[in-house]
């Protein structure tokens, strides 16, 4: 029992020391593009979203909807929205 208590205390101490410093992440930690799987819209059509993080810290968010309007083919673009943030120069 005493050995188990010493062991758990030592293990806790090791984790505490390992986690003591802050985690540092550079501006390139999120580089890349993420896209959602297509989701059905109601009453018709579908939509998808994407996020893009550039290596220089820029950010772009896009939303696209398809086949929303009556008589429109399912894969025809119905709407598009884009938001972006550039770094100050």
Residue 1 is assigned to a structural domain of this protein: no
d(CA 89, CA 87): 6
Residue 9 is assigned to a structural domain of this protein: no
pTM of the model: 0.61
Residue 20 is assigned to a structural domain of this protein: no
Q: Which domain holds residue 38?
A: 25-89
Residue 2 is assigned to a structural domain of this protein: no
Domain count, the chain: 1
Average pLDDT in the chain? 80
d(CA 15, CA 46): 47
Residue 55 is assigned to a structural domain of this protein: yes
Residue 8 is assigned to a structural domain of this protein: no
Convert the pLDDT of each residue in 53-68 to its tens digit.
Answer: 888 888 899 999 999 9
Residue 12 is assigned to a structural domain of this protein: no
**Can you list the alpha helix ranges (DSSP code H) found in the chain?**
2-18
89, pLDDT greater than 90: no
Residue 66's alpha-carbon distances to 11, 57, 69, in angstroms, are: 54, 30, 8
């Amino acid at each position: 029992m005493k050995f188990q208590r010493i062991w758990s205390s030592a293990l806790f101490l090791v984790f505490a020391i390992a986690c003591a410093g802050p985690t540092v992440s550079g501006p390139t930690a999120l580089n890349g593009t993420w896209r959602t799987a297509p989701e059905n819209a109601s009453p018709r059509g579908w939509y998808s979203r994407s996020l893009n993080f550039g290596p220089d810290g820029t950010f772009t968010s896009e939303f696209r909807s398809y086949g929303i309007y009556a008589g429109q083919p399912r894969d025809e673009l119905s709407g598009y929205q884009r938001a972006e943030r550039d770094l100050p120069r």
